[in-house]
A and B are shown apart, each in its own frame.
Chain A
C-alpha cells in the first residue's frame, strides 16, 4: 500500500496549511529591510515545530515533494516570487529520498532531513540576487532611494550560499526544538 491515498492527501493539506500560516506570520518581519536576511533563520527555526509533527506522520514517498511545491505556490501568491516553487520541489524531493532511506523511523534522520528541506527558503532571496538590477529598479520606484540602497548593501552577491547554510543550520536547530516539544506534548496527548 505504498501509493498515496486520499487520507495522505488530506494530511498533506492540513500540515501544509499549519506550516504556511506559521511561516507567513514569521516572514512578515521582512517588511523591515534589515530583517530580510533574518528570514533564513527564523522561518526554518520556528517552522520546525509543526514540521516535526508532520514528519512523524509521514510514512510514504512524495508527501514532502507535494508540500514543497504547494508552499512554493503560496509563496508566489504572497509576493515572494516564483523561485520558491523550484526550491520547494527540489528540496522536498531530496527530503523525500532522505526519509525513505532512513525507512521513516529514526528521529535524528527526521531532524537532518528537515535541515535539508529548510534550504527551500533561499528561494525567496534568489530574485534579489539573480535579477539584482531589476529588483533594484523595483525597489527604487516603489520604496525610494534610501530603502533600496540599504537593502542592497545588506545583500551582496556572495550571500546566497551563506543564507543557504543559515537555513540548513537553523533547520537543524528548529528540528531539535520541534522534536523536544513533540516529545513533551504531542506524545503525551496521543496525537502521534
Chain B
C-alpha cells in the first residue's frame, strides 16, 4: 500500500511532539529556509532539526540519506562554485541550491506527515481555534493528495499499456489523455470520501471529540523556542548586522 499522507493509525515511536509544534517547524522551514538564504548559523541548526527528529523516530535510513544529501549540497556550493562557470557550472550550482533549499522543507514535511494522524492534525487545528472553514478542507486535502498521485501513476501505467507515450503526439492531446481520466477517478473517489466522512460526523453541528493525547511537553517548548530564536536571529541580521 502506498504511504498515506497523515496516518490513520499511530505507531508509538520516539519523540512525541504536539502537532502544532510540527506545524510551526514546517512553517519555519518554509519561511526561513525555502525563501531565504543561509545567513546565520541558526539557519544551519534549523536544517539539522529534521535530521535529529528522524533519528529520534528511528528512521535511520532516511536520516542518513538526508544528512548525506545535505552535506553533499553544502560541499558542492562551497567548493565547486568558485571554480566552475558556464553551463556545467550553472547546472551544478542549481542542483546544489535546490538540494539545500528544498531538502529541509521536504524532509520536515515527510517527518510531520508520517508521524501525525488525521485525528491529531484536526484536533491541533481546532485547539489553534482555526475556523472549521479552513481545517476541514485542509484535512481533506492532505488525505487526498496521495490519492491524486496514485491516480496519476495508474493513468500513466494504463497509457503505457496502450502504447500512448509522451512523445510523438501533440502536447495538448497528451494533456487531455492524462488529466481527464485522473480527474474523473479523483472526483469519484472524492464522493466516496465525502460519504465516508459525513457518516463519521465530519462537519456536524456538535463539537468534535477525539482521544488523541495532545499537549505541550518540554520537547515542544524547546523546539518552539528554537523557532523563535531563528526569527530573532533573522531580525537581528536584518537590522543590526549582529553576528550570531
Contact = CB atoms under 8 A, between A and B. Distances in A.
Interface stretch (B14-22, B27-35, B154-162): B27-35
A83 to B, nearest CB: 11
Given A53-B183, A138-B36, A13 B149 contact: no
Contacts of B198: 6-7, 10
29 contacts: A4-B133, A6-B197, A6-B203, A7-B198, A9-B132, A9-B133, A10-B137, A13-B136, A13-B141, A15-B190, A18-B144, A18-B182, A31-B98, A46-B175, A49-B175, A66-B133, A77-B26, A77-B109, A79-B34, A79-B101, A138-B35, A141-B37, A141-B38, A142-B37, A142-B101, A147-B93, A181-B176, A185-B180, A191-B184
A76 to B, nearest CB: 6
A154 interface: no
B137 A70 contact: yes
Given A17-B145, A69-B134, A189 B184 contact: yes
Interface in A83-107: none
A58 B52 CA distance: 45
Contacts of A4: 133
B225 interface: no
Contacts of B132: 9
Given A5-B203, A50-B183, A144-B81, A18 B148 contact: yes
Interface in A1-48: 4-7, 9-18, 20-22, 31, 46
B97 A142 contact: yes
B184 A186 contact: yes
A14 B193 contact: yes
Contact of A79 (B93, B105, B183, B186): B105
A108 interface: no
Contact of A18 (B27, B94, B133, B186): B186
A183 B238 CA distance: 54
Interface in B25-61: 26-27, 30-31, 34-38
Contacts of A9: 132-133, 136-137, 140, 202-203
B110 interface: no
B204 A6 contact: yes
Interface size class of B (residues with CB under 8 A): 35 or more
B194 interface: yes
Interface residues of A, number: 47
A13 B140 contact: yes
A53 B137 CA distance: 17
Contacts of A78: 30, 34, 105
A183 B132 CA distance: 33
A17 B143 CA distance: 9
Most buried by B among A13, A49, A137: A13
Contacts of B93: 143-144, 147
B188 interface: yes
A143 B94 contact: yes
A127 B36 CA distance: 11
A13 B121 CA distance: 15
